[in-house]
Structure 1
Amino acid sequence: MAATREGRERAEGPLTIQEMAQRSGFSEPTLRYYEKVGLLGVVPRDDSSGHRRYHSPLAERVDALACLRSSGMSVADMRRYLTLLDAGDRAAAAEQRDLFARHADRLSAEIERLRTRQAYLRAKSDMWDARHRGDTTAETRAVEQVQRALKDF
């Protein structure tokens, strides 16, 4: 079978762990860990070599996990997502919605923390720049910005 898009299962068969790692962006130890903790189930092995082989449905599951992980989702939440997925769309829709909404809220809070850190760093940079230039007025303004940023920490 010929692949119709980049990253699909090779024409000659299932993916090796190295190919799955390259495709998903996960390291090989991460793929082994996800198998061990039950996110992937048992990964089939090649009869002759015993090496892991990722067939299309399993490779698609790894791709989905890669998307969730890249969003910062925890292993516990990924496990919950997969459990709910197995329950079916209709039965688990509300719980899936809540899972993703909670994660989006966590990301919003994280973004806000990063913005606070960014404001602090920019203010410190401005302060040191003003000090370097000998501009005491600009340095005073920058110190005030640093102090405001510190209150948000």
Structure 2
Amino acid sequence: MSTFAVHLSYPSSPPGMKLVGKRYVSANAQQEGLPLVFTHYTGAHKELREPAIQKLFDLHSKRPTPAIRKAWAFAGNHGEAGVVNAGSLKSETNGLLHSLLSTLPPSSVSYRAIMFVEPSLITREMRLKHKAERRIAPRSCAR
């Protein structure tokens, strides 16, 4: 898996604030396929997604699934983004990803699926209680 990092702003970025993204491409990436987009969650940096991204790439290479072209992970104030935005974060609270979609022009991009996961808010007991459901969900969603 290869990676490439970017620092960018969007139309309503507070002065000096950058959105930091990292692109992941599988060794056997397809020209056509789905791009996956991961955003940060409470108290986590974008690299925390790397094991899940690697697992998705590995699963894709072993069985017929929708092609994955690449994956992107973004953060505004955690990990590398915290370093890049250190000066801006000291002066006020900024929520880059929390309002990003409300500032961009409408897009004609259609989405096949959107999944929201906030693992840092799940207790171990709750995770274990729903373990079987989580294993069934990917199979039931496969087409």
**TM-score of the two chains, using structure 1 as the length reference:** 0.29
**Structure index of larger Rg:** 1
Give 1 or 2: higher strand fraction.
2
Higher relative contact order (Cα pairs below 8 Å, separated by 6+ residues): 2
